[in-house]
Chain A
Amino acid sequence: AQSVAQPEDQVNVAEGNPLTVKCTYSVSGNPYLFWYVQYPNRGLQFLLKYITGDNLVKGSYGFEAEFNKSQTSFHLKKPSALVSDSALYFCAVRDIGAGGFKTIFGAGTRLFVKA
């Protein structure tokens, strides 16, 4: 069964420090991986995606994610956190190989960046 796990409900980091939000996945075919962010009272915003190619993917707002096939992980990272990065982050996977467009989301990780 396809699944996405975000093992941390919450991540706390000081402004200016690097941040990592963890994600692992399980799919039957080739994974298409995504990160979305949700700010209060807003819809989910697309951050970045991995389809193929370089394992390190760069996205919006200075975020990047590293695809690790052997560990089935797709952790979100940022070298220097900002207070404005505080939000709810969702990892997602779409198993295109199964012929569908169903996106499977993780439960979300709330990021708090302290000034």
Chain B
Amino acid sequence: EAGVTQFPSHSVIEKGQTVTLRCDPISGHDNLYWYRRVMGKEIKFLLHFVKESKQDESGMPNNRFLAERTGGTYSTLKVQPAELEDSGVYFCASGIAGAYEQYFGPGTRLTVT
């Protein structure tokens, strides 16, 4: 069974540009989460999808971040326009409805210069 995949693995963009990160959860997982880890700090929750619906987006930093999960399968996280403080590793995780475990992808390392 394939795990959670994320694309790209690494992205370097200039301040003001737009970047879109993609997450493909494990097939059949209704729950999908986005997290971010800024260098050396804790992993912070961004938002949670149940199927295509946003269950909790309280962790989204500001309106420059837009997450979608059309059709309840893969999800995208767009940052527009990117700022220097957006640099970090963005993790996606998925889980079965009602279960506590989350299965994490390898992350996308975003560098904004």
Chain A residues close to B by CB (< 8 Å): 4, 32, 34, 36, 41-46, 49, 51, 90, 92, 94, 100-108
The one of B31, B40, B45, B101 that contacts A107, using a Cβ cutoff of 8 Å? B40
Q: Give Cα distance in the complex from A32 to B103, angstroms.
A: 16
| B42–A42 touching, CB < 8 Å | no
- Known interface pairs A101-B48, A102-B56, A102-B58. Does A43 touch B107 (Cβ–Cβ under 8 Å)? yes
Q: Give Cα distance in the complex from A36 to B33, angstroms.
A: 16
Shortest Cβ distance from A107 into B: residue: B42
| A4–B42 touching, CB < 8 Å | yes
| A94–B100 touching, CB < 8 Å | yes
The A/B interface has a contact count, at CB < 8 Å, of 55
| B104–A105 touching, CB < 8 Å | no
> Which residues of the partner chain B approach A44 to less than 8 Å between Cβ atoms?
43, 91, 93, 104
Most chain-B Cβ atoms within 10 A of its Cβ — which of A44, A100, A106?
A44
In the complex, how many angstroms separate the beta carbon of B33 from the nearest chain A beta carbon? 7
Q: Give Cα distance in the complex from A28 to B48, angstroms.
A: 20
> Which residues of the partner chain A approach B42 to less than 8 Å between Cβ atoms?
4, 104-108
In the complex, how many angstroms separate the beta carbon of B9 from the nearest chain A beta carbon? 8
In order of increasing CB-CB distance, the 4 nearest A-B pairs are A105-B43, A43-B104, A44-B104, A107-B42
